[in-house]
Structure 1
Amino acid sequence: MKHLFLLVVVSIVAVSCKTTRNLHSKEFLRTQQELTEKLTQISKTTSFNGFGVALVNDKEVLYQNGFGISNIRENTKYTESTVQNIASVSKTVIGIAILKAQELGHLNLDEPVSKYLPFNVFNPEHPEVPITIRHLVTHTSSIVDTEEYLTRNVILKDTINLVQNLNIDISPTRFNPPSTKISLEDFLKNLLDTGGAWYTKEAFSTKEPGSTFEYSNVGASLAALVLEKAVGTTYDAFTTQYILLPLKMNSSGWSFDAIDFSKYSPTYQDKQTPYPYYSLVGYPDGGLLTTSSDMGKYILELMKGYFGNGTLLSEQSYKEYFTPQLTAENFINRSTSEYSDEYNMGITMGFGSTGNFGHTGGDPGMSSVIWFFKDKRMGRYFIVNTDWDSNSSGKDQKAIYDLLDDYYIRLNSLSKSKK
């Protein structure tokens, strides 16, 4: 969910930057090590226990690493191989998956979702206006997140300390016992079908489908369900086959069973108090489990795709993915912040007012962001495993960003792609 950062040298670099080992100059490796040392110093005083970063140009991963603590009870270090959920940054995968399915001839962005769904979804205020797949992936479907969605989506992994954990305040969401977990299809049917157990007209805004931007987690997950019905397999299986495996994101997956759980980081209410382990019923909208190393591969692919050199999609599909789909008329309160991902929308990819693009994410005990600077040809990933502290986390994030931005210039100039 959203809405919401020389022996010793050689040994450390070999661990933290495997993708560049033996491929770069000693100066490049020394520069990476300088960055590692400075981020390590920052990690000793941050308001979050652990954080991961990755940095790419349009040709290669320049840097990826993890810092601080992953598990305070076991004193486990946060590394580039630490697994975390990335929340709404996961939505960027939905867009790629939909466009891949379109390339394969399974669906078309401008088709109504009713063509594929086993239940009927329509806005009761505008029943004659079909909701299309494009509406879902640009957050203009008129489907909104109700209290029923918010309070039923987050599921505890186990029943340890169940009563205590169910009472943890994670407003506006809440934890639910494992026994309440249901399939994605049943979850969305209960929310959006007129005969669904939790259906309410308030699941739709009064705006006509296609007319108005309103960020929708439910709409994003519905796009994933449409894909499932169109391709005849599950969303996690399709995205694993066409995205995770081709990019060799071998430490990533959509469930605890799909990853090495021994490397999974708890998330934290503060630096001392962990949250219980949890997952999402609507997992496509926020449930990708991954590492900084794998995210380096992912954001590199996105940067390559933006410049016409991607491998997952055709050049035409990537152009669609990165084309802002909306106009000023589609917004009521348009966010004009340079780093907001809601000034415009591609196909699940957000755009800021400067034309740079990316996506943010936040769930209990974590925040994440991918952001791309098109003129610099720079992509940046940042994730933390602790709730945001309004007094200090922003300052910590800025210090980390400033270092990454400074060292991007140096690493990019020394990149093997520049030789």
Structure 2
Amino acid sequence: MKHLFLLVAISFTVVSCSTTKDLHSKEFVRTQQELTEKLTQLSKTASFNGFGVALVNDKEVLYQNGFGVSDITTSAKYTENTVQNIASVSKTVIGLAILKAQELGKLNLDDPINNYLPFNVFNPKYPEVPITNGHLVTHTSSIVDTEEYLTRNVVLKDTINLAHNLGIDISPTRFNPPPAKTSLEGFLKNLLDTEGEWYSKEAFSEKKPGSIYEYSNVGASLAALVLEQAVGTTYDKFTTQYILRPLKMNASGWSFDAIDFSNYSLTYQDKQTPYPYYSLIGYPDGGLLTTSSDMSKYTLELMKGYIGKGTILSKQSYKEYFTPQLTAENFINRSTSEYSDEYNMGITMGFGSTGNFGHTGGDPGMFSVIWFFKDKKMGRYFIVNTDWDAEASGKDQKAIYDLLDEYYIKLNSLSKASE
């Protein structure tokens, strides 16, 4: 749930980097090893316990690795195969899934969402203006995150130390006991249906649907529910069939049961204090569980998709995915930061003011970002397993980015795909 947390912090150790070394020159492998050594040194003093990275050009994965620890009690290493939730970076999958469903003839971006939903959703200030699928995936639906959404979405995995864990401050959200877990449909119906248990007119802004960009976690999850109704299967099954498995993201999934839990990383409040395990009821908006290795495959696919050579969507669909959909009139407060993903929106893919694109994410005990530099044809992924320290973590992040940028130039020039 991006916008709800800025997190980070801990320290790291070395793991092996795996890109198919036998296919590359000795100099390429040696350059990878140099990067590993430098990142390992950095991890020893970093403000977060563990982190993962991936680096791609438009043809292959150049580097992927993990550093530090995933469990300070056992000293388990954080590796490229360590599993973590990636928070709102998960939303980029929603756009791919919606466009895949459109390719299959199951829905259209211009369709009103009430053509599909088992309950009606409308802005009570503009009951005559239909909310469309396109509005949901560009955050212009006028649906906003209410306190009910924020305080009910995060659910503990188990009842261990339940009283203590329920009291942990993760404002503006909070942990809920395991029995609070409900279906995506039931959750959204209670929030957005006029007959819903938690319904409030405050779930809708004063703006007309389609007019103003307002980042909406609940709107993103609603897009996933629309997809479920349109294709006749659950969001997790659809995305696994059409996205995760085709990309061989075999260590990834949308629930603890779908991944190898022995590889799952703890997340941390600080370098000494772990959070309890938790999941999201609105899991499509932030609940993908994955590894740096799998995310390197995902990052590569998106980079290829941007240049018209992707495999999971058609060239036309990828063009739509990566086309900024909004204009200046759609923004009230528009971020012009080069690295903000909210200067414009594709189909759940954010754009910065320079035209580079990507998405960030944050939940209790973690921060993630996937970012693409269109001119360099470079994709970069970064994730940590500790709450963000406003002063220290930003410096660590910059140091990591500086190394990745420096070694991208070297590895890209030595890439077997460049020969």
- Report the TM-score when normalising by structure 1: 0.97
Deviations along 1:149-185, one digit per CA (max 9) or x if unpaired, are: 0000000000000000000000000000001100000
Describe how 1:256-267 pairs up with structure 2 within 5 A.
Answer: 256-267=256-267
**C-alpha distance in structure 1 between counterparts of 2:136 and 2:390, whole Å:** 32
Specify the alignment match of 1:16 in structure 2: 17
User: Which position in structure 1 is the counterpart of 2:87?
Assistant: 87
Contact 2:254 2:283 in 1 (8 A): yes
2:166 paired with 1:166: yes
Q: Report if aligned partners of 1:20, 1:62 keep a CA contact under 8 Å in 2.
A: no
Question: After TM superposition, where is structure 1 displaced by more than 2 Å over at least 4 residues in a row?
Answer: none
Aligned match of 1:386: 386
Distance in 2 between residues matched to 1:30 and 1:391, nearest whole Å: 33
Q: Secondary structure at the match of 1:367?
A: strand
Contact 2:303 2:379 in 1 (8 A): yes
C-alpha separation in 1, matches of 2:73 and 2:122: 48
Q: Which runs of 5+ in 2 are unaligned?
A: 9-13
Structure 1 residue 16, shift from structure 2 partner = 1.8
> Aligned pair 1:177/2:161, yes or no?
no
Equivalent in the alignment of 2:283: 283
Indicate the SS of the match to 1:67.
strand
2:363 partner amino acid? D
| Post-superposition CA distance 1:257-290 (Å, at most 9, x none) | 0000000001000000000000000000000000
Partner of 2:355, secondary structure, is: coil
| Distance (whole Å) between structure 1 residues aligned to residue 387 and residue 270 of structure 2 | 6
Q: Within the alignment, does 1:228 sit opposite 2:203 as a pair?
A: no
One-letter code of the match for 2:101? Answer: A
After TM superposition, give the deviation of residue 391 of structure 1 in Å: 1.7
- Give the deviation of 1:21 after TM superposition: 2.0
> How far apart are the structure 2 equivalents of 1:400 and 1:102?
38
Q: 1:8 matched to which residue of 2?
A: none
Give the structure 2 partner of residue 61 of structure 1.
61
Match of 2:332 in 1: 332
Distance (Å, rounded) in 1 between the aligned partners of 2:254 and 2:216: 20
CA contact (8 A) 2:59 2:304 kept: yes
Equivalent residue for 2:11? none
In 2, Cα distance between the equivalents of 1:269 and 1:396? Answer: 17
Superposed displacement of residue 358, structure 1: 0.1
Within 5 A, what are the aligned runs for 1:240-279?
240-279=240-279
Do the aligned partners of 1:166 and 1:176 also contact (CA within 8 Å) in 2? Answer: yes
Structure 2 distance, partners of 1:120, 1:106, is: 19
Identity over aligned residues, as a percent? 84
Count matched residues. Answer: 411
Counterpart Cα distance in 1 of 2:352 and 2:291: 25
Report if the CA contact (8 A) 2:50-2:67 is conserved: yes
- 1:111 and 1:49 map into 2 onto residues whose CA distance is 45
The 5 Å alignment of 1:299-338 reads 299-338=299-338
Q: How does 1:3-152 map to 2 (within 5 A)?
A: 3=3, 4=6, 15-17=16-18, 19-152=19-152
**Structure 1 residue identity aligned to 2:108:** N
Shift in Å at residue 88 of structure 1? 0.0
CA distance in 2, matches of 1:71, 1:323: 41
Which amino acid in the other structure matches residue 191 of structure 1? Answer: L
Q: Is the 8 A contact 2:141 2:209 kept in 1?
A: yes
- Alpha-carbon offset, residue 68 of structure 1: 0.3
1:413 and 1:300 mapped to 2: Cα distance?
Answer: 17
TM-score (norm 2): 0.97
Amino acid paired to 2:17: S
How many Å separate the matches in 1 of 2:91 and 2:74? 32
Listed one character per residue, the Cα deviations across residues 233-275 of structure 1 (whole Å, up to 9, x for unaligned) are 0000000000000000000000000000000001000000000
CA RMSD of aligned residues (A): 0.9
- 2:17/2:32 contact within 8 Å kept: no
Q: Distance in 2 between matches of 1:311 and 1:298?
A: 11
Q: Give the partner amino acid of 1:212.
A: I
Secondary structure at the residue paired with 1:22? Answer: helix
Distance 1:391 1:61 in 2: 31
Please name the residue that 1:9 is paired with.
none
Secondary structure of the equivalent of 2:68? strand
Aligned equivalents of 1:179 and 1:73: distance in 2? 28
Instruction: Measure the CA separation in 2 of the matches of 1:44 and 1:356.
Output: 31
Unpaired runs of 5+ in structure 1? 6-11
How far apart, CA to CA, are the structure 1 residues paired with 2:22 and 2:223? 42
Partner of residue 217, structure 1: 217
Report SS of the residue matched to 1:16: coil
Give the SS at the match of 1:89.
helix
Aligned equivalents of 1:201, 1:266: Cα separation in 2: 37
Q: Which amino acid aligns with 2:401?
A: Y
Q: Distance in 1 between matches of 2:289 and 2:375?
A: 30
- Rounded to whole Å, the distance in 2 between the matches of 1:90 and 1:391 is 26
After superposition, the C-alpha distances for 1:10-40 in whole angstroms (9 at most, x for unaligned) are xx99x421x3221100000000000000000
Tell me the CA shift for residue 137 of structure 1: 0.1
Q: Measure, in 2, the Cα distance between the counterparts of 1:391 and 1:303.
A: 31
Residue identity in the other structure for 1:328: A
Shift of 1:74: 1.1
